């Protein structure tokens, strides 16, 4: 029996290795997600640690859980304003494009490789979706902005095509298991799409209203609330046989493109969560495979990868984008950017654990196709984009602005304070105030009412004001803490009575859980925690 500490030790080693590979992959030009897959293979039964793991049921459950957050954050980071002009072609690629790609690959597997028709179509369905994480990890790592709004097109397509590939996979598995009529196919698709859309929009809109009204007393609880939203958006339609992946993706888009409190703080939280989920997912899938079984399947996988890359995907892209006047360069780049990723392997795991008894061969074939896709296509993506002249080198071009989680903007900070009774600002209009240079009054709270002030707004005693100013950059500001004891107050209890230390300033006093901004007349008490700015 393997002990829990040993399992945790292996898990910690795997995470550290994934983090190290993530830093190294950018320098070597290798997509980080490929490194996670290879690392899982190295830890696996045929690797140097020889960890025996072949529990496909557990792997499917863990990977499906990880996909919830990956798809939610994919929607959350989608900048709808940038994506709206390309929404129609992107949705066509994510729906009709998946069907056409799956059909072409399925026929190739059946007619050329000797698969049965349903097995060939199942392989096509499993490989029908593209991987947003793989594409944008490369674009972000290389800071490649693309012309003609291509980044938004790829983002919206690859983020929304997993639900359609999942539906096709579910239909084909049902047909292989017990047969299915055309009417049943239509009912299944309508149920999947209808419930996915209904719950995605319903839960997303309700969550936005709640987040705007609720005030969490404990920091970080808004992030906990959004985690629950993501889980609910997936689980609620899924228990009714709806498409949970479609629902959670739509809920993510709605939340990511809405003005909600503490949204800026949600970004690093979900960056971390999604990063862990991607490491877990790719590492676990790498751990699940048996490299010793791959050499005999490599010719079939390579043939499928080549056909998918140079025939099926380009035909689907050219057929669907040409009517929209897309340039030849954009069509070729979109065709090349159809990287296969974790979702395809997870859907292959679904096929393995289904009652159809397709065996583990389909898993290893899909695994090899993903390795070839991320390794070759992914590594060559920047070079292909440059060769096609699709790199946007204009002033202000930044792939980060494709996303709502983009934070590389001009740094600002906010300062809040109240107008005390008898203060000179009380009763004066905002235009009459003498504010510090480079600051602006952005909001004021009066009782339960929050106002956006104008020049004619008159302040009142008790108003809570928020000023905006540029954040300091490059200044070396160091803080130290000191707790006040009774012996420290022998010369007086006011700050101005304390011995002055050159190069230091008390900037904050924390007293019984409350924070005070002091001045010279502030009286100190034993137990006060002082925060000092010190140059020494």
DSSP secondary structure of 161-211: HHHHHHHHHHHHHHHHHH---HHHHHHHHHHHHHHHHHHHHHHHHHHHHHH
Phi, psi of 523 (to 5 degrees): -90, 130
Per-residue pLDDT band at 406 (split at 50, 70, 90): very low
Token representation of residue 432: 């009459």
Which residues make beta-bridge pairs with 413? 469
Token representation of residue 217: 């007393």
d(C-alpha 154, C-alpha 77), whole Å: 13
In 3D space, the residue among 443, 420, 421 whose CA is nearest the CA of residue 430 turns out to be: 443
Residue spans of the domains in the chain: they are 4-390, 412-470, 479-534
| Residue 409: Cβ within 10 Å count | 8
- The confidence score (pLDDT) of residue 213 equals 82
Per-residue pLDDT band at 2 (split at 50, 70, 90): low
Indicate the CATH number for domain 412-470.
3.30.70.1450
| Residue 375: Cβ within 10 Å count | 16
d(C-alpha 460, C-alpha 423), whole Å: 9
Write down the architecture of domain 4-390 according to CATH: Up-down Bundle (1.20)
Phi, psi of 480 (to 5 degrees): -130, 155
Per-residue pLDDT band at 417 (split at 50, 70, 90): confident
53-67, 445-459, 494-508: least confident range: 494-508
Per-residue pLDDT band at 407 (split at 50, 70, 90): very low
Indicate the CATH number for domain 479-534.
3.30.70.1450
**Structure confidence by residue, pLDDT tens digits, 112-124:** 999 999 999 999 9
- The confidence score (pLDDT) of residue 477 equals 62
| Residue 359: Cβ within 10 Å count | 11
Q: What is the pTM of this model?
A: 0.72
**Structure confidence by residue, pLDDT tens digits, 128-170:** 988 877 776 776 666 677 888 888 888 888 888 888 899 899 8
Averaging pLDDT over each range in 92-101, 176-185, 216-225, 458-467, which range is the top one? Answer: 92-101
- The confidence score (pLDDT) of residue 112 equals 93
**Structure confidence by residue, pLDDT tens digits, 426-440:** 888 988 888 888 788
* pLDDT, average across residues 459-476: 77
Same fold, 412-470 and 479-534: yes
**Structure confidence by residue, pLDDT tens digits, 286-330:** 888 888 888 889 999 999 999 999 999 999 999 999 999 889 999
Average pLDDT, the chain: 82
| Residue 447: Cβ within 10 Å count | 9
Residue identified by tokens 């008490």 is 525
Distances (CA, A) of 513 to 49, 158, 464, 509, 527: 50, 48, 20, 10, 11
Q: What angle separates helix 244-256 from helix 182-213, to the nearest 10 degrees?
A: 30
| Helix, strand, coil percentages for the chain (3-state, nearest 5) | 60, 10, 30
What does the DSSP 8-state code read for residue 218?
A: S
């Amino acid at each position: 029996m393997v002990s829990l500490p040993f399992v945790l030790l292996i898990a910690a080693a795997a995470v550290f290795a994934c983090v190290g590979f993530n830093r190294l992959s950018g320098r070597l030009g290798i997509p980080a997600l490929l490194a996670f897959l290879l690392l899982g293979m190295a830890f696996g039964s045929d690797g140097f640690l020889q960890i025996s793991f072949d529990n496909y049921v557990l792997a499917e459950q863990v990977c499906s859980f990880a996909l919830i957050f990956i798809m939610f954050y994919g929607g959350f980071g989608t900048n709808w304003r940038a994506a709206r002009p390309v929404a129609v072609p992107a949705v066509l690629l994510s729906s009709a494009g998946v069907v056409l790609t799956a059909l072409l690959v399925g026929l190739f597997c059946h007619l050329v490789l000797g698969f049965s028709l349903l097995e060939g179509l199942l392989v096509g369905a499993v490989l029908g979706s593209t991987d947003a994480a793989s594409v944008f990890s490369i674009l972000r790592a290389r800071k490649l902005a693309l012309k003609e709004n291509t980044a938004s097109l790829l983002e919206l397509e690859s983020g929304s095509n997993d639900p359609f590939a999942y539906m096709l996979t579910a239909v084909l598995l049902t047909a292989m298991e017990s047969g299915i009529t055309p009417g049943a196919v239509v009912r299944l698709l309508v149920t999947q799409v209808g419930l996915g859309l209904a719950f995605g929009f319903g839960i997303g809109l309700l969550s936005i209203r709640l987040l705007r009204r609720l005030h969490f007393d404990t920091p970080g609880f808004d992030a906990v609330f959004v985690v629950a939203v993501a889980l609910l958006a997936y689980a609620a339609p899924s228990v009714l046989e709806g498409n949970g992946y479609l629902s959670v993706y739509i809920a993510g888009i709605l939340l990511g493109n809405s003005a909600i409190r503490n949204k800026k703080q949600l970004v690093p939280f979900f960056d971390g969560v999604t990063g862990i989920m991607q490491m877990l997912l790719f590492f676990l899938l790498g751990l699940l495979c048996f490299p010793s079984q791959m050499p005999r399947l490599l010719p079939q996988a390579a043939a499928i990868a080549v056909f998918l890359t140079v025939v099926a995907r380009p035909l689907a892209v050219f057929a669907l984008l040409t009517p929209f006047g897309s340039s030849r360069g954009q069509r070729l780049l979109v065709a090349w950017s159809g990287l296969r990723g974790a979702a395809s392997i997870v859907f292959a795991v679904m096929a393995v654990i289904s009652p159809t008894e397709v065996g583990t061969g389909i898993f290893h074939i899909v695994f090899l196709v993903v390795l070839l896709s991320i390794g070759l296509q992914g590594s060559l993506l920047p070079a292909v984009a440059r060769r096609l002249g699709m790199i946007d080198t204009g002033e202000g071009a930044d792939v980060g602005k494709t996303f709502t989680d983009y934070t590389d903007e001009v740094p600002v900070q906010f300062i809040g304070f109240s107008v005390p009774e008898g203060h000179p600002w009380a009763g004066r209009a905002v235009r009459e105030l003498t504010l510090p240079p480079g600051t602006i009054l952005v909001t004021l709270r009066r009782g339960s009412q929050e106002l956006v002030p104008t020049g004619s707004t008159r302040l009142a005693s008790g108003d809570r004001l928020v000023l905006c100013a540029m954040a300091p950059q490059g200044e070396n500001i160091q803080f130290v803490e000191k707790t006040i004891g009774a012996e420290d107050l022998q010369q007086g209890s006011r700050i101005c009575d304390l011995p002055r230390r050159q190069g230091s300033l008390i900037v904050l006093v924390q007293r019984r859980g409350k924070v005070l901004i002091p001045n010279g007349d502030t009286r100190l008490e034993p137990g006060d925690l002082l925060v000092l700015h010190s140059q020494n």
